[in-house]
Amino acid sequence: MLLVVDAGNTNVVFAIHDGETWRGEWRISTSDQRTADEYAVWLLALIERAGLDPRVVDRAIIGTVVPAALYHLRRLCRQWFEIEPLIANLALDWGFPIDVNQPEEVGADRRLNGLAAQVLFGGPLVVVDFGTATTFDVVDRRGAFIGGVIAPGINLSIEALHQAAARLPRISVGRTSSVIGRSTTTAMRSGVFWGYIGLIEGIVARITDELDPETKVIATGGLAPLFSEGTTLFDHIAPELTLDGLRLLSDRNASRHARVSGHVPQSDLQD
């Protein structure tokens, strides 16, 4: 079975795929101070609670936009699963062109979203990912990743609004029944929800104008189902798109997977 690790700015998501379906998915807040042993105590207990045997995990792949977290995640795979994990970087075979000016600057999550969406839905398309940032990742009709748009994430905007204005409370994101808020809280919620609907619809319309009138729109990220309630824009909701990207990348580079035999010297764990 395959262990997939998606380390984002907010959460690290662990998931196990058995070759046909996802068997478990767990998340923990991202911290570059969390050690491999701390990850292991938490993760192994959850895997066993799901009725799975950690010993049947024989492959692993890590995608991260937090370089400082990679050391401990790689050590987790090596010491606790005896696996040499693949790292979702440009050294792997992605199977599609990354046609941008500086490919090394594109976050692994954006490349993974593009890969999974291209395989599952075909281009031309744009993936809207509701993460720490709200990203728009574009794949053209050739199947090439050609760039996109990065905007502030919803929760970042909420926190900035609260911190910058002394009298504005911290709110949770949610759809309002009316655009016009009758209180400060509902006015803020309306501004965030309908403001982001306007942002998404406007940016996607401009991307479609530049790219192709038949562009498909894919939504992913934890808030995708909520924002899909406010627009008919999305052709598909794919909450596990980044994980699917890691799975597909792992399958494409299957010959590079390897086991770790015996004890791994501390010097070999350094990156």
Q: Which residues are catalytic?
A: 109
Q: What is the pLDDT of residues 160-182, one digit of tens each?
A: 877 777 678 888 888 888 899 88
pLDDT at 265: 43
Task: Please report the domains of the chain, with CATH numbers, ordered by start residue.
Answer: 2-87+248-259 (3.30.420.40), 103-238 (3.30.420.40)
pLDDT at 262: 53
Mean pLDDT, consecutive 10-residue stretches, the chain (271 aa), reads 93 93 93 91 94 92 91 94 94 92 92 95 94 93 94 84 77 87 88 93 97 95 91 94 96 90 46 39
pLDDT at 167: 76
Predicted structure pTM score: 0.86
In this structure, are residues 62 and 54 in contact, taking their beta carbons and an 8 Å threshold? no
pLDDT at 162: 75
Q: Which residues are annotated as a binding site for ATP?
A: 6-13, 132
Q: Which residues are annotated as a binding site for substrate?
A: 107-110, 184
Alpha helices in the chain (DSSP H): 36-49, 67-80, 108-121, 154-164, 184-211, 224-228, 241-252
Q: What distance in Å separates the CA atoms of residue 34 and residue 102, rounded to the nearest whole number?
A: 31
Q: What is the pLDDT of residues 48-72, one digit of tens each?
A: 999 999 989 999 999 998 888 899 9
What is the full DSSP assignment across 132-175?
Answer: SEEEEEEE-TTS-EEEEEEEE-HHHHHHHHHHH-TTPPP-----
